[in-house]
Structure formats: structure tokens, C-alpha cells
Amino acid sequence: MKALVVDDSKTIRTIMQRSLAPLGFDEIVEAEDGQQALDRCGEGQPDLITLDWNMPVMNGIEFLKAYRAQGHKTPILMVTTEAEKSRVVEAIKAGVNHYLIKPFTPAQLKERIEETLQRAA
Amino acid sequence: MDQTTLDMLALTLSQAVTDVCSMMLGEDVTVGTPDVAGRVPDHAGDGVRGSIDITGDFTGEASIHLPTATAIKLVSAFVGVDIKPDDEAFVDAIGELANMVVGSAKANFEGLNCSISCPTVRLIVEASESYPPPHLRLPVTGESGDFAIEVLLAA
């Protein structure tokens, strides 16, 4: 399976890689912002996207709207410090499948990834 | 900023740094009594500061301020490998810690309408670069060493 990890923090991308590999993701592609993520998706659709909200160039919501407008159904887990209810609602309306607020434990991340895949199945 | 707001800010930042250290670093920390008068910390001339600009109901800057030795241990716990302070990944990790602490506090501060910036990280190498005395300073103690969460409010 292929995952796309979108976050401007290399630290978070490393943590995501570490969590995704044991869940069967043998190809993990990284992007530092929404625009890079759109470019990466042009090289082949992933089976899962983990998406930060606050990023330079193109933020997570902008990516989400552009990506869903292209008709792609890939499950997306938003992983962000944005915890206000209004933000969660905004993300869900824009097409995110699940939401995880930073900080998180490794167990919470694993659980949320699995739930995201189940919801989209 | 009135005393009630300062108290609430201290409370939300205390909870945030405790959560971030516990969940992301696997380290339990203790937050001491907030120093609302502010003072320059003992390690002002040797350390690392990850800062987040805040705009909205109040304007200022919130920081995680660590002695270099403590920062090295915490980054190692965060990333899972040892990283030297001059490595780009080290700076990124400190910035992400600051982002999580301030973002989490902002989310838990009911009624506060603020925006936060992308983090900036400075390596503090000389005492002359030390920060002005912050308006709020939270001393944090953990297995990896002592550090502080500081808030500097705009005049």
C-alpha cells in the first residue's frame, strides 16, 4: 500500500513513516505542503493521505478542496493542532475522513489510521 | 492583560506542555509555579528557543526555551534518533514542539480568539542575545532536564 504524508515538519513526517510502515504501507511518499502533495498525487494515487492543516504555500484545507474537486476518493486523515470544533467541521465538510489532534500517542495515531481506512472501505 | 487572563494562559500552557511531553516524548514533566513578574532564565546565554507569534485578542510571542543539553535529549526522544543542534532536523523538531505546545494551549483557552504563526527557532549562543524578561514564565522539570515556557506580550 502507498501512503502520502503531508506536513511541513520533517519530524512529524518521520513519526508518520514509523507508524505507517508496520500497518502495511510499503511505499510512503512525503510532501512539505499542499502544492507538493498535489504534484505527488499526479505521480500515482495513494491508498491513504495524512494531512497537516497549517503549512506554507498551500495549506491542508486548500489541498483538500482541490484534491476532492478532482474527484479522488482516497481516505484522508487530518493531523493538526487545530482543535476548535469549527475547524473540525470545516475539515469534514471539505472532505476529510477522520481527524487527529496533536499531540497524540503512538497508539492513538495507529488507531486513527486504522479507523480512517475502515471508514473509507 | 488582566490577572485572570494571565492565570488562564498559565493554566492552559501548563496542561499543554504536560500533554505534549507525555504523549509525544514519553516523558512526565512537572510545571512549577508561574512567574508572572518575569525574569531572564539562568540559561539565557546557552540554549535553544522555539517561538510562535500570536495575534488576535492579544499580541506577543510564546516560546519553549531549553538549555542545549536538555534540548538534545528531548529531540532524541521526539524523533527517535540522536540529532546534533546544527542539524536542520533538530531545528525542525524544536519548532514542532513549540507549535504543539502553543497550539494545544490555544485550543484549550476557551473564549480566546487568536491566530498563531509557523514556528521560528533560534539557537541562543550569547548572553547578549537573551530575551527581554517575559511577562509569564513557567518552569518545567523533567527527567531530561529543566526548561521553560515563556510568553512575551507586545507593549
What chain B holds in terms of domains, given with CATH numbers, is 3-36+46-153 (3.40.1550.10)
Q: How far apart are CA A8 and CA B118, in angstroms?
A: 10
C-alpha distance from A109 to closest chain B C-alpha (Å): 11
Indicate yes or no: CB of B80 within 8 angstroms of CB of A18. yes
Grid coordinates in use for A69? 474537486
| Domain encompassing residue A16 | 2-120
Would an 8 Å CB–CB cutoff place B134 in contact with chain A?
Answer: no
pLDDT digits (tens, 9 = 90+) for A43-87: 889 999 999 998 999 999 999 999 999 999 999 999 999 888 888
What's the ipTM? 0.86
DSSP code of residue B9: H
CATH number for the domain spanning A107: value is 3.40.50.2300
Inform me whether the pLDDT recorded for A21 exceeds 80: yes
Inform me whether the pLDDT recorded for B44 exceeds 60: no
pLDDT digits (tens, 9 = 90+) for B93-136: 999 999 999 989 988 887 777 777 766 777 665 454 555 666 78
Indicate yes or no: CB of A82 within 8 angstroms of CB of B92. no
Would an 8 Å CB–CB cutoff place A111 in contact with chain B?
Answer: no
CB B1: neighbour CB atoms within 10 A? Answer: 15
Higher pLDDT, B52 or B128: B52
Domain count, chain A: 1
Contact (CB, 8 A) for A54 and B118: yes
Q: How far apart are CA B42 and CA B57, in angstroms?
A: 31
What pLDDT is stored for residue B128 in this prediction? 45
- CA dist B148 to A94, B121, B131, Å? 38, 15, 13
Chain B from 2 to 61: CB within 8 A of any A CB: 19-20, 23-24
What pLDDT is stored for residue A114 in this prediction? 95
